[in-house]
Amino acid sequence: MSFSELTPIHYDFLKEVTNIGGGNAATSLAQLLNKRIDMEVPTVRLLSYDEIFTNIKEEESPVIAISLKVLGDAPGIFLFVLEEKYALHLAKLLLGKEDLKELDDMVVSALKEVVNIIASSYINALTRMLNLNMVSSVPQFSKDMFGAILTTAYIESGYIDDKQLIIENIFIEDNKKINGYLFFIPSPNSLDTIISSINI
């Protein structure tokens, strides 16, 4: 099965998972940062490869990406993509420093920790609701053009369908929005495992 074959019921279930995962992510980040973190309801979209570059970001846009391999019953890749200004803001919140201007090792480490919390919140919501065994690997950092990063993730996962699931996450801290996109790129047969586990 591919994302393009999802029924409305399956799609509604995935939206429910993202709402729960997003809420858990906001709560976990607030506890980590010791700050109030609000979150807009995550927007879930199924877009073709070309639509991603039209609706999300242009192919040549420079971005920051943190990827985590998902292991277990439904393997794949979680890829979190955001602009550098948002990446630096997230790092400032975690490190408590206002003078961050470049992506040094300390900033990269902070970003990995934040994204690990976000992705794990979604994975945990999925595993609890479907009784699946899924764990994430150590986060990997990259900085490149959006198209190159997305293509690499597709190749690594072996995913070949045109449609892709994108979750837009907008966190709000002190009236400042931090916008990021979370991609779940399943390995072959992983989506079948997830869908077959849904009790309809």
Whole-model pTM: value is: 0.87
- CATH 3.20.20.80 assigned to 3-196: no
Cα(39)–Cα(83) distance, rounded to whole angstroms? 18
Average pLDDT over residues 162-176: 81
What is the mean pLDDT of the segment spanning 80-92?
A: 87
Q: Is 35 helix (H, G, I), strand (E, B) or coil?
A: coil
CB 65 within 8 A of CB 79: yes
Residue 183 near residue 150 (C-beta atoms within 8 A): yes
pLDDT of residue 1: 66
The distance of Cα 135 from the centroid of its chain, to the nearest Å, equals 14
Rounded to the nearest integer, the mean pLDDT of the chain is: 86
* The two three-digit tokens of residue 183, written as one number: 């991609």
The model's confidence at residue 149, banded by pLDDT at 50, 70 and 90, is very high
Q: What is the pLDDT of residue 200?
A: 56
Q: Which residue has the higher pLDDT, 48 or 62?
A: 62
